[in-house]
Amino acid sequence: MSPDGVPTPELPETFDVLVHPAQALNGELRAQPSKNYTTRYLLAAALAEGETRVVGIATSEDAGAMLRCLEDWGAGVTLVGGDAVIRGFGAAPRVGVTLNPGNAGAVARFLMGVAALTTDTTFITDYPDSLGKRPQGDLLAALERLGARVGSNGGRLPLTISGPVQGGTVEVSAEKSSQYASALIFLGPLLPRGLDLRLTGQIKSHAPLRQTLDTLSAFGVRFSASEDLSRISIPGGQKYGAGRVSVPGDYPGSAAILAAAALLPGEVRLGNLRENDLQGEREAVAVLREMGADIVREGDTLIVRGGQPLNAVTRDGDGFTDAVQALTAAAALAKGMTTWENVSTLRLKECDRISDTRRELERLGIHATETADSLSITGTGKIAGGITADGHGDHRMIMLLTLLGLRAEAPIRITGAHHIRKSYPLFFRHLEDLGARFEYLQTDTH
């Protein structure tokens, strides 16, 4: 529904978006369900024996990819309103199945871990230039050390995994991604000997690991972990417990709404965001406040009174990597130079979120510099707009460019804007509900 109450038409399958400058944003929204918790809860529900109701699931492409793959593996999936009812396959997914997780990197990796329960599970992707290029070697090597047989394209998709494995002690690198460890954590309880997991290197993204362990707790699985998460022990022979779980609100996507609200005059209320949530991107609230944004909390609702002048910050961004793009929009309009440090993992996403972001910012007249693991942005008083920006097939890049377009002096066209569906299908509609205006320009290519 548009702000004036007129029903909005369905968006084209593939489209560019023309972002018009906005004068203000006002209104109230309920944060979309968490993408990260949705995929974790759905997988855990499938690993349980019996029926689990996952209440309030995300409708993102990643959630759809997980549901599709779980069905292919033999889970029963029934969608009831905004919930998913999953009849699990426990420790016995179907063997000899080909799974296509699309462009969902975390989904692919979680399933690769569980594939060690099967024989001849093959992983393919329709996105050879995105997910097909992302490294999986560290996870595959750990599975091989557990006794799995693995065949891959140089550590990348397509690949095949065969078990079964018994468990035991195994190391996995945490330098590139926490998702490798999460994949093994999901597998651990169902192994006869359990799992004594040791994470090596500088651990990236502690918050998603804590979300994975929190998921195990929600499904009645026992484990112990060191404070720094470098060692995680999971007793074997356990079962995931079927039941009912509710998905919390999504902080990574909400970071973009909060940043947009901070950049423009008006008052925006965003509900369904738990104060003590384990999502690392919850830190985006503190970062925006440090920059000068007026944000107050009332229970699970955040209230942003926008249009305040913002100032630059220097922050270690490793704990909130999926909010860095949204916060970069705030940095682009803040006084001074903002630096996101320790964010090398951004180079391993749907695009290189350091170099590609720097290039797009520079095309918009915003000075940015990079190192191997940092991005610095010097704020500007105005953004001219009037250009076509490349969305790079990356939902977070599309969010960043949209926020800049709202503050530009002339419209900005963003290519491949349909890729927003990967994590936040209602992103444009939610902004329209607050007063933004977009034009959707149908395209012929994906």
DSSP string, 122-147: EE--S-TTTGGGS--HHHHHHHHHTT
What is the number of other CB atoms lying within 10 angstroms of the CB of residue 257? Answer: 26
Which of the residues 62, 138, 318, 322 is marked catalytic? 322
DSSP string, 315-347: EE-GGGGGGHHHHHHHHHTSBSEEEEES-GGGG
DSSP symbol at 14: S
What is the number of other CB atoms lying within 10 angstroms of the CB of residue 374? Answer: 18
Q: Could you tell me if 143 and 116 are in contact, meaning their C-beta atoms sit under 8 angstroms apart?
A: yes
SS3 for 250? Answer: coil
Q: Could you tell me if 101 and 80 are in contact, meaning their C-beta atoms sit under 8 angstroms apart?
A: no
Q: Find all residues with CB under 8 Å of 289, minimum gap 6, and list them.
A: 295
- The H-or-E segment that residue 151 falls in is strand 149-152
Q: Is 16 a catalytic residue?
A: no
Q: Find all residues with CB under 8 Å of 433, minimum gap 6, and list them.
A: 1, 2, 3, 27, 29
Q: Could you tell me if 284 and 258 are in contact, meaning their C-beta atoms sit under 8 angstroms apart?
A: yes
Q: Could you tell me if 195 and 188 are in contact, meaning their C-beta atoms sit under 8 angstroms apart?
A: yes
Q: How far is CA 310 from the centre of its chain?
A: 26
Q: Write out the catalytic residue numbers.
A: 322
